[in-house]
Amino acid sequence: MRTMLRRRPNVARADRWNGWSAPSVRSAFTAAFAVVVVLVGLRLSAQGDSHAVSWLALPPLAASAFLPWRWVAGVGVASMAIAFGYLWVLQGFAVTAMASYGVDFLVVAVAVMIAAAVAIVRERDDDRLRKLTQLASVVQQAILRPIDHRLGPFDIAARYVSARSGAEIGGDLYEALGTEFGVRIIIGDVRGKGLDAVRLSSTVLGSYRHVAFERADQRCMITDLDHAVARNAGDEDFVTAVLMQERGGTLEIMNCGHPPPMLVRDGVATYLEPESMAPPLGLNPSVRELTLRLQPGDRIFLYTDGLAEARKDGEFFPIRERAWSLIGHGDVGDGLASLESALRRWVGGPLADDIALLLLDYRPEAG
Q: Which residue has the higher pLDDT, 215 or 20?
A: 215
> Which pLDDT tens digit goes with each residue over 116-132?
899 899 888 888 877 76
> Which pLDDT tens digit goes with each residue over 234-254?
778 899 999 999 999 999 999
Length of the chain: 367
How far apart are the C-alpha atoms of 72 and 51, rounded to whole Å? Answer: 23
One-letter amino acid of 268? V
Q: Which CATH architecture has domain 144-366?
A: 4-Layer Sandwich (3.60)
How far apart are the C-alpha atoms of 358 and 343, rounded to whole Å? Answer: 15
Which residues, 6 or more positions from 359, have their beta carbon under 8 angstroms from its beta carbon? 156, 157, 299, 300, 301, 302, 327, 332, 335, 336
Would you state the pLDDT for residue 312?
85
Packed helices 69-90 and 102-143: angle between N→C axes, nearest 10 degrees: 160
Rg (CA), the chain: 30
> Out of 168-177, 316-325, 328-337, which region has the weakest mean confidence (pLDDT)?
168-177
pLDDT classification of 354: cutoffs 50, 70, 90:
confident
Give ∠ CA 350-234-223 in degrees, rounded to 5.
100
How far apart are the C-alpha atoms of 211 and 194, rounded to whole Å? Answer: 26
Smallest CA-to-CA distance from 326 within 271, 366, 273, 267 is with 267
- Read off the pTM: 0.68
Would you state the pLDDT for residue 14?
36
> Which pLDDT tens digit goes with each residue over 250-282?
999 999 999 999 999 999 999 999 888 899 999
Would you state the pLDDT for residue 18?
45
Going from N- to C-terminal start, the domains of the chain cover: 2-138, 144-366
Evaluate if residue 363 carries a pLDDT over 60.
yes
The mean pLDDT value for 289-310 works out to 95
> Which pLDDT tens digit goes with each residue over 59-113?
888 888 888 888 888 888 888 887 777 767 665 555 555 566 667 778 888 888 9
> Which pLDDT tens digit goes with each residue over 136-158?
666 666 677 888 899 999 999 99
Would you state the pLDDT for residue 5?
36
